[in-house]
Amino acid sequence: MLYALICTDKAHSEGIRQENRQSHLEFLNGLGTRLKAAGPFMSDDLVSPTGSLVLVEAANREEAMAVANEDPYALAGLFESVEIRPWNWVLKNPEA
Q: How far apart are CA 89 and CA 56, in angstroms?
A: 11
pLDDT at 34: 98
Q: Is 93 helix (H, G, I), strand (E, B) or coil?
A: coil
pLDDT at 96: 83
pLDDT at 91: 94
Q: Which residues of the chain have pLDDT under 50?
A: none
The neighbour count for residue 27, using CB atoms within 10 Å, is 18
Residues in Cβ contact with 88 at an 8 Å cutoff, skipping those fewer than 6 apart: 2
Q: Domains (ranges, CATH) in the chain?
A: 2-87 (3.30.70.1060)
